[in-house]
Amino acid sequence: MSDDPSKSESPHAGRAEDRSDAFVMHLTQSQLPLRSFIHTLARRSGDVDDVLQETNKVLWEKRHEYDPSRPFMPWACRFAYFQTMAHLKRASRADHLDLDENLCRMIAAEATHHVEQIEARAAALRECLHKLPAANRKLIDQRYAMGISVRKIADEIGQSADAVSMRLYRVRKALAQCIHKVMVQEP
């Protein structure tokens, strides 16, 4: 046992730290979808940035309420919705406008559904990428993650640019079919 009281040796300390790390990862990965969600309700860019910042603050304060067994985005979108509504109410009072909350709820529900679909497709893409043979995964990574031109890849592997383009087409087609199968299988 350590004599330093600042060092916790509780068996739960590691789990709490792991949960915080996972939460930070979720929060970081959700910034673009959250921004898009907020933008569907608050159209002005400055408003979107303000609401996103407020939402991130609230999400961080409420992080202990998040159930990691459930999807993160619907939970985060709920807070983004309430932050956006509060912001719009303040702005409508200042601008003397009426805010139609039912319309905002409908838009938010549709946007949340859209975000969930994008998240599901991204998960399916990750799953399908892992199923690819290593050479095809490397080709996709070089072209799309690293941004290497088809010509440069072709020179590197000793094939024509047309052959590489055709191979990329076939891999993309296989990925699309795989994503479709994964999405159809999900409940």
**What is the tens place of the pLDDT at every residue in 142-182?**
998 889 999 999 999 999 999 999 999 999 999 999 999 99
Fold designation for 12-103: Rna Polymerase Sigma Factor; Chain: A (1.10.1740)
Residue pair 55/38 in contact by the 8 Å Cβ criterion: yes
Neighbours of 80 (CB within 10 A): 30
Query: How much is the pTM?
Result: 0.50
Residue 7, by phi and psi: left (phi above 0), alpha (psi -120 to 50) or beta? Answer: beta
pLDDT value of position 175:
93
Q: CA–CA separation, 57 vs 55, rounded Å?
A: 5
pLDDT in tens, 45-54: 778 989 999 9
pLDDT tier, 95 (very low <50, low <70, confident <90, very high otherwise):
low
